[in-house]
């Protein structure tokens, strides 16, 4: 194991705040698990990645690239659905894989990622590069749950052409250490990228979430939306950046993180950054963290719900809009997992 820095901010702040990056202990994976595809029509083994593909760190990206490699090409004008499932179990405690998705002009893909497993799971090192040509549309739903002892790296990069649209909804519920690193380049005019994440941190979970979207094309649209709850001694850091570059006139972006702290020992840091070198844009950023509102609890209790039920309703209601944006088959499972985690003793 060696100490590495991950999820470094694009613009650094005071060092004493200790938020410029996160230091973690890194070990390379023992590749043993394999991904399971619902349909291999468009899947080929092997992939190449551009040099500008950045991960949480060079080490974590290299670990993913050393594993399985696949290219998924959706031909122009075609529509496809694909589920990729990775299970980490006793004999297959690690996974490493890198995926290059190419959606040709006007292609559409509904993609579901499912990552699950047992307490024996050690780690998942995932990297995916999404290249959307003009007017292509991508919808990603991701659920990761269980994996109580695992370190999970998810590194993704989106390159969007003119009027291309990518909509990502993720449920980050499992894992001991969860590292997400997502970057988007809105190159084409009117391209749009949405990153929505729901999370629950319990016990001693550590979530390190990084999102960065570059607006290059005109009238591009972005949204980064994080919502979750932290209990026990969980720790979460949310770094998000919207960067409006010169020439992206008429672009709009919004970023925000809203966390409910269910325990005084839970730790939450949110850093929503706005960078801008173009005048004619609209960017909003926000974050809030706090306990469940006593006023809201009282209102719900006045309708017959117990304190515990009222708290659960409030937490769920914060997350529900993102859960509802997941692919239908994942929604109930996600809600049940959120309930199970937040109801568990010793949170």
Stretch that binds another protein, among 11-19, 56-64, 181-189, 302-310 (CB under 8 A): 302-310
The 3-state secondary structure of the chain, one letter per residue: CEEEEECCCCCCCCHHHCCCCEEEEECCCCCCCCCEECCCCCEEECCCCCCCCCCCCHHHHHHHHCCEEEEEEECCCCEEEEEEEEEEECCECEEEEEEEEEECCCCEEEEEEEEEECCCCCEEEEEEEEEECCCCEEEEEEEECCCCCCEEEEEEEEEECCCCEEEEEEEECCCCEEEEEEEEEECCCCCEEEEEEEEEECCCCEEEEEEEEEECCCCCEEEEEEEEEECCCCEEEEEEEEEECCCCCCEEEEEEEEEEECCCCCEEEEEEEEEECCCCEEEEEEEEEECCCHHHHHHHHCCCCCHHHHHHHHHHHHHHHHHHCCCHHHHHHHHHHHHHHHHCCCC
Q: For another protein, which is the closer residue by CB, 179 or 315?
A: 315
Q: For another protein, which is the closer residue by CB, 71 or 325?
A: 325
Is 319 a binder of another protein (CB under 8 A)?
yes
Is 328 a binder of another protein (CB under 8 A)?
no
Q: For another protein, which is the closer residue by CB, 165 or 312?
A: 312
User: How many residues lie near another protein (CB under 8 A)?
Assistant: 24
- Out of 321, 329, 332, 340, the only residue in the binding site for another protein (CB under 8 A) is 321
270-299 positions binding another protein, by CB under 8 A: 293-296, 298-299
As a whole number of Å, the CA-based R_g of the chain is 20
**Least Å from the CB of residue 322 to another protein:** 9
Q: For another protein, which is the closer residue by CB, 148 or 301?
A: 301
Q: For another protein, which is the closer residue by CB, 10 or 321?
A: 321
Q: For another protein, which is the closer residue by CB, 293 or 329?
A: 293
Tell me how far apart the alpha carbons of residues 303 and 310 are, in angstroms, rounded to a whole number: 9
Is 300 a binder of another protein (CB under 8 A)?
yes
**Least Å from the CB of residue 207 to another protein:** 21
**Least Å from the CB of residue 91 to another protein:** 40
- Out of 5, 316, 333, 339, the only residue in the binding site for another protein (CB under 8 A) is 316
- Out of 307, 329, 336, 343, the only residue in the binding site for another protein (CB under 8 A) is 307
Is 8 a binder of another protein (CB under 8 A)?
no
Stretch that binds another protein, among 3-11, 137-145, 217-225, 318-326 (CB under 8 A): 318-326
Q: For another protein, which is the closer residue by CB, 127 or 310?
A: 310
Q: Residues in the site for another protein, rule: CB under 8 A?
A: 293-296, 298-307, 309-310, 313-314, 316-321
């Amino acid at each position: 194991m060696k100490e590495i820095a991950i999820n470094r901010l694009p613009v650094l702040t005071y060092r004493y705040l200790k938020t410029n990056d996160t230091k973690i202990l890194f070990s390379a994976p023992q590749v043993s698990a394999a991904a399971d595809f619902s349909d291999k029509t468009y899947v080929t083994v092997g992939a190449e990645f551009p040099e500008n593909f950045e991960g949480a760190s060079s080490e974590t990206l290299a670990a993913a690239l050393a594993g399985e490699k696949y290219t998924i090409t959706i031909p122009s004008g075609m529509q496809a659905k694909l589920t990729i499932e990775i299970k980490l179990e006793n004999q297959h405690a690690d996974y490493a894989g890198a995926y290059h998705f190419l959606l040709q002009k006007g292609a559409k893909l509904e993609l579901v990622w499912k990552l699950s497993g047992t307490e024996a799971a050690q780690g998942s090192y995932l990297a995916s590069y999404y290249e959307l040509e003009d007017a292509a549309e991508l919808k990603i739903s991701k659920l990761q749950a269980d994996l109580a002892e695992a370190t999970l790296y998810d590194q993704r990069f989106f390159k969007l052409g003119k009027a291309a649209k990518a909509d990502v909804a993720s449920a980050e519920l499992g894992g001991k250490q969860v590292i997400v690193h997502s970057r988007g380049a809105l190159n084409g005019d009117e391209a749009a990228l949405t990153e929505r994440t729901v999370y629950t941190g319990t016990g001693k979970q550590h979530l390190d979430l990084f999102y960065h979207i570059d607006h290059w094309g005109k009238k591009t649209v972005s949204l980064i939306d994080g919502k979750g709850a932290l209990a026990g001694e969980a720790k979460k850091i949310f770094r998000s950046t919207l960067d409006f570059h010169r020439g992206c006139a008429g672009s709009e972006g919004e970023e925000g993180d809203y966390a409910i702290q269910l325990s005084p020992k839970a730790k939450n840091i949110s850093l929503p950054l706005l960078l801008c070198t173009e005048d004619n844009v609209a960017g909003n950023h926000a974050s809030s963290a706090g306990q469940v509102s006593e006023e809201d609890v009282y209102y719900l209790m006045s309708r017959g719900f117990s304190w515990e039920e009222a708290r659960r309703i409030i937490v769920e209601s914060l997350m529900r809009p993102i859960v509802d944006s997941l692919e239908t088959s994942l929604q109930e499972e996600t809600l049940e997992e959120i309930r199970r985690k937040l109801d568990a003793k010793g949170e």
